[in-house]
Structure 1
């Protein structure tokens, strides 16, 4: 009887894992379907060292280098999410939808995000169709329309797959797809790095191993770090049970997870991408300054550092509103020991959240930037390919997904106990 209950409880998570695997395989198939009419060999040779293509391949699993149907990957959806989330802080109507309309408001925001992603995909598809013009056998208006339609449709399918994984699978859909695309490039990366390892001396290899170990430990620390704020209820105060309180309000050290890294990386590729569509010297200078392979990496690393800080604070403000938490505590007749309900609680939570976000964002940005600095100082080229961004995404997504699976299993077991 217990075995039957256990199988019944785990069936839900098993079906979610199967759905996730099926959708991930489907997304990988679309990556290897090439857009017809392009000399793919000549194009691949010409962009092998292009930093824009190298970055976009992280999100498309190599589909951009081969101009596959899913070449744009999840990038248009990520950019649309950035725009809509920035809009919720500056446009009153979007802010009202998010905070006051409940589930219907969130669905409308999701629909607006999809429309923006569609428009962004069309713009990017047009740009790609003009960019590959030297490698097209018969470039004309018909080819531009066909390629724009193919890439836009592929991007919308990837967006649909990511939403289905989030709703019916395991983990955040966009993060899972990026995770799988990074994993798919590891065999090629190991093959390319083998020659670098053979040419490196023992001290360089030791430095490389130590830096990667410190990075992984630091990422886990940032992802798992939590400040637990004790919460007591009026019932506990009345019965004098302060010493046995077990309720806590958990505040994560890094509220946004890996999304600040993903958003910062996606934002940085925009200037370089737009520079491909123009010959303006000012735009080319800006794109060169913000390129990871530019002559002066200090500007790039500084801007990358500041963007991670900004998106960490931005995500923290979206995920947790101290004013709403204070109101909910007041409704439940609960409070934080030593802090008055109402505005005092809001100020206390806001101050604590700002401190935690600053520490988490600083640590996250530090981990993302330090490997590039070490690479420039020691000339260890094995950091190329699997940089800090990819490693942060891999570790962060793995932790978040495993925690979601554990939460789902606990909730299922709890439901069976109640029954």
Structure 2
């Protein structure tokens, strides 16, 4: 096989390494096998429930659309009331809580920034415990809701259902961490990715049936909606890959008798630092009130509040934009530390042309980062709103629950996973060169 010396591996080299390199092939097989196992587990039903009455009851409360979108992220386990009905959602909610607390609690912030790998492992362990507590909390609420549709309702049914749902959620969390550690890509993101992809055939089939109905207005609406989705995919790829390159110059230095001249390079800052995580976290926060309805099913105030936060309502749109903006800045502050970056540049003898080292450099980096984060957050908000508005205008709602947010997750996770595969291919390339 001819190995390219370019930075980016060719498609031929990538597929050849995936087939021949034992390490990469093993990671891919583990990832695919675990994802298939999770998909099978979703269809293992929890016994003793009248599922038809349960689905009709959800539609009667007016929460069908909201739960429908949550069901997409859970891979279809909520409506089917499967063993993995909660999926990876408790772990994501726990991650939101811990990351918010990390910025507020000094001890957690010290663990993340100063304790290295041991600190990150400690935070991961705390996140697992929080995920367990959140899974128990959600399972109790779901069990109370399901008890109205149980064949033999009672405390025993609630206990068995809680035990099954929590065990399923913890297993999914373990699989996600296993994929992250020994597979390819981020395990939690891939689990959401597969859950969204699993709903595509049904949505596409409904869209094709709608286009074949003979109504010209609906046919035109389908075409417009598909064009908007294609345009969104192109825009998402450009923004996910977009970077601001800040030029830096390394100072001239002498090592022994050799003189090293000035070197020019650049400091890359991504337009969207958080990737898909800000929009996933904003999604989860909007669904938190719906979890409380399980505990207070007859509370009309809470039900009305959830309806106001349902997709399509102006309050949902406004809060969604605010949350995306908040989590974009929050993630940017976690990923990029301007003060630490300025100190590292100073230690390396590098500087930004026209900017003095020290505080002036950190202020400049922070200013650029804030502008990039704002532009990235505005794009995320537009991606979340425009296709939904087009669906309302064209009356084509076959992709309900699979909107632009899901599209952004799909494209973002696909790009991140492809980059990780390319990283393994490049490492295999250099490993082969060393052996030669």
TM-score range, shorter chain: over 0.9
Give distance in 2, aligned partners of 1:62 and 1:123: 20
Corresponding residue number in structure 2 for 1:101: 115
Give distance in 1, aligned partners of 2:125 and 2:46: 28
Give CA deviations for 1:147-185 in whole Å, capped at 9, x if unaligned.
111100100001001111111111111110011111111
2:204 to 187, 190, 203: 190
Corresponding residue number in structure 1 for 2:428: 412
Corresponding residue number in structure 2 for 1:213: 230
Note if contact 1:196-1:381 (Cα within 8 Å) is conserved in structure 2: no
Are residues 36 and 254 of structure 1, via their aligned partners in 2, closer, same or farther at CA, if it must alter by over 3 Å? same
Give distance in 1, aligned partners of 2:54 and 2:299: 24
Give distance in 1, aligned partners of 2:138 and 2:348: 49
Corresponding residue number in structure 2 for 1:40: 51
Deviation at 1:210, TM superposition (A): 2.2
Corresponding residue number in structure 2 for 1:159: 173
1:343 to 353, 359, 377: 359
Corresponding residue number in structure 2 for 1:260: 278
Q: What SS class does the counterpart of residue 192 from structure 2 fall into? A: helix
Contiguous gaps of at least 5 residues in structure 1:
none
Note if contact 1:272-1:291 (Cα within 8 Å) is conserved in structure 2: no
Note if contact 1:264-1:311 (Cα within 8 Å) is conserved in structure 2: yes
Deviates more, 1:72-81 or 1:387-396: 387-396
2:134 to 113, 116, 120: 120
Corresponding residue number in structure 2 for 1:143: 157
Deviation at 1:52, TM superposition (A): 3.4
Is 1:274–2:292 an aligned residue pair? yes
Note if contact 1:260-1:308 (Cα within 8 Å) is conserved in structure 2: yes
Note if contact 1:336-1:345 (Cα within 8 Å) is conserved in structure 2: yes
Corresponding residue number in structure 1 for 2:6: none
Deviation at 1:365, TM superposition (A): 1.0
Give distance in 2, aligned partners of 1:77 and 1:6: 33
Deviates more, 1:311-320 or 1:34-43: 34-43
Runs of 4+ in 1 over 6 A off after TM superposition: 5-9, 236-240
Are residues 61 and 383 of structure 1, via their aligned partners in 2, closer, same or farther at CA, if it must alter by over 3 Å? closer
Give distance in 2, aligned partners of 1:190 and 1:377: 19
Question: CA-atom RMSD, angstroms?
Answer: 2.3
Corresponding residue number in structure 2 for 1:288: 307
Are residues 384 and 129 of structure 1, via their aligned partners in 2, closer, same or farther at CA, if it must alter by over 3 Å? same
Q: What SS class does the counterpart of residue 21 from structure 1 fall into? A: helix
Give CA deviations for 1:186-220 in whole Å, capped at 9, x if unaligned.
12222222332234524323321321121111111
Are residues 378 and 193 of structure 1, via their aligned partners in 2, closer, same or farther at CA, if it must alter by over 3 Å? closer
Give distance in 2, aligned partners of 1:21 and 1:205: 33
Is 1:386–2:405 an aligned residue pair? no
Corresponding residue number in structure 1 for 2:250: 233
Are residues 7 and 288 of structure 1, via their aligned partners in 2, closer, same or farther at CA, if it must alter by over 3 Å? closer
Deviation at 1:273, TM superposition (A): 2.6
Note if contact 1:73-1:154 (Cα within 8 Å) is conserved in structure 2: yes
Deviation at 1:280, TM superposition (A): 3.5
Give distance in 2, aligned partners of 1:29 and 1:241: 60
| TM-score when normalising by structure 2 | 0.89
Deviation at 1:6, TM superposition (A): 6.6
Is 1:203–2:220 an aligned residue pair? yes
Is 1:10–2:35 an aligned residue pair? no
2:72 to 40, 55, 58: 58
Q: What SS class does the counterpart of residue 139 from structure 1 fall into? A: coil
Deviation at 1:285, TM superposition (A): 2.8
Note if contact 1:20-1:165 (Cα within 8 Å) is conserved in structure 2: yes
Note if contact 2:35-2:191 (Cα within 8 Å) is conserved in structure 1: yes
Say how many residue pairs are matched.
413
| TM-score when normalising by structure 1 | 0.93
Contiguous gaps of at least 5 residues in structure 2:
4-15
Give distance in 1, aligned partners of 2:38 and 2:74: 9
